[in-house]
Amino acid sequence: MLEEQQSQEIFDEVISWRRYFHQFPELGFEEYKTSAKLQAMLAECGISFEVMAGTGVVGVLEGNGEGRTVAIRADMDALPIQEEVDLPFASRHPGVMHACCHDAHMATVLGVAKMLSRARDRLRGRFKFLFTPSEESPPGGVLPMIRAGAIDDVDCVLGMHYSDLPREKIWIGKGTIQANVDAFEIVIRGKGGHGAFPHQTNDPVVAAGYLITLLQTIVSRETSPLDSVVVTIGSVNAGTAFNVIPDRAVLKGTARTFTADLRARVEERIRQTVEATCQNFGCQGSVSYRREYPANVNDPNLAEEVRRLAAEFLPEDSFIDVPPTMGGDDFGYFAQKVPTCYIRIGRGTAEESGPNHSGKMVFDEDVLPLGTRLFAVLAARLAE
């Protein structure tokens, strides 16, 4: 067992790493300083590494005996969000912020790497530290890293997210824990004209208004209440003047589902609804539909093993049961290849410290020792 005080000894380092990453956030596939820092810290720990997918980094640590190869993933990229909290280590890059805890994910996995490197003579197996770029920007960095061989020799992958759950509570779900993530763009082409003479036009704005409402019926009237589906229109653009009916409207949105059947049906119904609605208004509609990320699935056997191992050194009240989330993560690509377990650690509720993807989010650094020790112990035990 890795001693609790060891994670406390490196707590100051983990905080300093997290604050560095927070000050210098970088967007997807632009994480050059971030990648360089990770490489330097791995080298300092005596851990060999390889650069993949442009900015991604894979560290490798050999234990002192045969065992399984366990990988731990941390995502690297920040979000195009302006930080609204005045911190001494606030983002130095205007309009870019680590608002989804990726700075803490990287610091935690570096802490795990340091703990395991110190104990390598007492460990069996092999450990890989996967720092993956561009999680926030589909198609993401996990898939190109898989294609580059990052998990060819891996037996399982652990993932994390410091989430807006009650502080220091841990959720280890089984089966599908995050949704399929799809994106679509709808273009409606009509006939524009003067706003005073709408009868001489085929108004794509009115068609778009009806379409937005009709798309919601895919969820409310065509999907069983026992199934989970989201269809969201997040962007609507049409026209430039108050008295001109444009000839074009563009809608962008996302669909979220948990199963392959629902995913296919929702896509089909979006296409059919667009076609029929536009035809009714004398317009033409086209749909560009992209399947961004697959559902994130925790292997039931691995999740059960992880829960059992975690319960050996954490109090029973550390664990919390919450529903799966309609959010997504390119970590789901790992789950298509090897057994995975993605764990959520509470950093405090959104009311306490602001929601993820918000310029007001403040990360509670006091949860870092828990996350660091948890993943170090899990990796060491799973590799035995």
Return the exposure string of 324-362: e unless at least 16 CB atoms fall within 10 Å of the residue's CB, then b: bbbbbbbbbbbbeebbbbbbbbbbbeeeebbebebeebe
289 is catalytic: no
- Say whether 333 is catalytic: no
Which tokens is 346 given? 């509470």
Distance in angstroms (rounded) separating the CA atoms of residues 213 and 231? 11
Are β-strands 156-163 and 340-346 bridged in parallel, bridged antiparallel, or unpaired?
Answer: parallel
Catalytic-role residue among 162, 293, 333, 342: 293
The helix or strand, by DSSP H or E, that contains position 106, with its residue range, turns out to be helix 102-118
Separation between Cα atoms, residue 379 and residue 130, nearest integer Å: 13
Q: Distance between CA 103 and CA 109 in Å, rounded? A: 10
Q: Could you say which DSSP state residue 97 is in?
A: B
Q: Quick one: which of 90, 168, 209 has its CA closest to 364?
A: 168
Residue given tokens 């007492």 in the structure block: 122
Tell me the C-alpha distance between 192 and 353, whole Å. Answer: 48
Distance CA 55, CA 6 (A): 30
| Rounded CA separation 312/266 (Å) | 43
What DSSP designation does 301 have?
H
Catalytic residue among 9, 13, 185, 365: 365
Residues catalogued as catalytic: 293, 365
